[in-house]
């Protein structure tokens, strides 16, 4: 497992967890799996990431690219293991909770 560059933090108001990774050291697809496992401590159904999103496409979309980075951050959002996950090219992984989770 890969460690985020800081703790996984929870924002009570937004009901979101946030972790920060260095995508030059950790692929976005690996960061997503790591962050979700950290947040849910394996309580949720385990399913491969590719059931939710193509891991290679996610990595290509968010890889460091000076040309694309000048235009601003890129992001992808998808449901994975019962949570809404948003991954941003700045290295952040946000895991949102809502009332539907766990149903």
Look up the domain containing 82 and give its range: 9-96
* Residue 43 CB burial class (10 angstroms; 0-12, 13-18, ≥19): exposed
pLDDT tens-place string over residues 61-74: 998 887 887 888 99
The reply to whether 102 falls in a domain is no
* Residue 96 CB burial class (10 angstroms; 0-12, 13-18, ≥19): middle
Q: What is the DSSP letter of 48?
A: -
The reply to whether 3 falls in a domain is no
pLDDT tens-place string over residues 44-101: 566 788 899 999 999 999 988 878 878 889 999 999 988 999 999 999 999 998 654 4
The reply to whether 29 falls in a domain is yes
The reply to whether 17 falls in a domain is yes
The reply to whether 72 falls in a domain is yes
Q: What is the DSSP letter of 43?
A: -
Q: How far is CA 61 from CA 1, 18, 54, 55, 82, in A?
A: 22, 20, 11, 10, 23
pTM value > 0.85: no
The total domain count for the chain is 1
The reply to whether 30 falls in a domain is yes
The reply to whether 66 falls in a domain is yes
């Amino acid at each position: 497992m890969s460690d985020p560059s800081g703790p996984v933090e929870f924002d009570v108001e937004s009901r979101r967890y946030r972790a920060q990774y260095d995508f030059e050291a950790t692929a976005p697809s690996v960061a997503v799996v790591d962050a979700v496992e950290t947040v849910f401590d394996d309580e949720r159904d385990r399913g491969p990431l590719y059931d939710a999103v193509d891991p290679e496409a996610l990595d290509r979309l968010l890889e460091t690219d000076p040309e694309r980075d000048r235009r601003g951050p890129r992001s992808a959002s998808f449901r994975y293991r019962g949570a809404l996950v948003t991954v941003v090219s700045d290295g952040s992984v946000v895991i949102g909770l809502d009332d539907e989770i766990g149903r």
